[in-house]
Amino acid sequence: MTLFAVGIDRAKHSAHRLATFAVIAFGFLAQPIAAQTEAPYPNKPVRIVVAFAPGGFADTVTRLVGQKLSERLGQPVVVENRGGAGGNIGARQVAGAAPDGYTLLSHTAASAINVSLYKNTGFDLLTDLTPIANTGSTPGLFAVHASNPATSLQDLIRLARTNGGRLTYSTAGIGTSSHLAAEYLFNTLAGLKATHVPFQGGAPAITAVVSNQVEVISGSMPPVAVFVKQGSLKMLAISSLTRVDAFPDVPTVSESGFADFEERSWVGFFAPMKTPSAIVNRLNDDVNQIVLLPDVRERLANMGIEPRPGSAQVFSDYIRREVAMWSKIVKTTGITTE
């Protein structure tokens, strides 16, 4: 072999060694990048979009649960309010977010109502969002001013009939579960000519009855219960299927002659569709454990809210039943947002 040939052979061998070294070196350099990409969930702040304004039922529950969730996840949980269009604006935002578990939605029974109430919500509740967990729920109720002569729901209806069936009731707004429930109860089931007096939020709706400007408040338990305990309002019936511990002497609407009548406000968490099941199940387990913590249960109980732990599938099935129930009521009452 000539010296020239030996030189070529050595050059080839060196080039091969350099190429091998480059591949190995690249592999070592790439490992931190891959590890960072595949870091376990969560490795950055989680954002929860509340579909309503600050200070309301959904916002209060979300911030309570969100604080505990941050502790469990080891990451900041940022609560962001995106109210408007009955909760549709915030829901649309989350439905279009990346399905990675870092953008979640907090919504209420309005999510199930809006499916039928709005011609176009801008998203599909059942196909664009993945139910994670239901935090808790509270029954609706009907209350009047303390001076009102009615001592029961049947008394109220009887007195209204002596007045040509006329009755006024206030709610937190058009299309809310309280609005639909009252319209269905008073005008469809009881056959009255009740007039809806809508307000922007529960506080002014309650004030209207406390000041005797409107006869009945159809609302959720947490804000109304305060005025009942103070003695300025009188609760006539609760829209749950069984009586509640906080007011054991107040009968249900079913006991008052309208069998199987139920209307509950709830706060649930959702994620964009296609969020990995491992993340959904992780969040579901965290929320379920949070709502059963003694201090959280106590705060929820003070607001008249009962924890509703369960699997993501249980919550999903509940949502579908809610959609079907409210669809029937929207169609029967003819209520529309147009």
Residue 201 region, left (φ>0) first, then alpha (ψ -120 to 50), else beta? left
Task: Say yes or no: 210 and 280 in one domain.
Answer: no
Instruction: Using DSSP bridges, classify how beta strands 129-145 and 306-307 pair: parallel, antiparallel or unpaired.
Output: antiparallel
Task: Say yes or no: 226 and 268 in one domain.
Answer: no
pLDDT per residue over 27-54, tens digit each?
A: 444 455 444 455 799 999 999 999 988 8
- The CATH number assigned to the domain holding 114 equals 3.40.190.150
299 in a structural domain: yes
Q: 3-class DSSP state for residue 145?
A: strand
Task: Say yes or no: 206 and 232 in one domain.
Answer: yes
5 in a structural domain: no
Residue 84 has pLDDT above 90, yes or no: no
- List the domain range (segments joined by +) for residue 317: 46-138+264-333
Last residue of a domain, one of 238, 254, 274: 238
Highest mean pLDDT among 11-15, 196-200, 322-326: 322-326
- Round to whole Å and give the CA distance between 233 and 196: 19
Q: 3-class DSSP state for residue 17?
A: helix
- Round to whole Å and give the CA distance between 171 and 169: 7
244 in a structural domain: no
pTM, two decimal places: 0.81
194 in a structural domain: yes
pLDDT per residue over 120-131, tens digit each?
A: 999 999 999 999
Q: Give how many domains the chain has, as a whole number.
A: 2
28 in a structural domain: no
Tell me the percentage of the chain whose pLDDT exceeds 90.
76
27 in a structural domain: no
pLDDT per residue over 250-260, tens digit each?
A: 999 999 999 99
Residue 76 has pLDDT above 60, yes or no: yes
13 in a structural domain: no
Q: What type of residue is 241? A: L
Task: Say yes or no: 93 and 156 in one domain.
Answer: no
- The CATH number assigned to the domain holding 213 equals 3.40.190.10
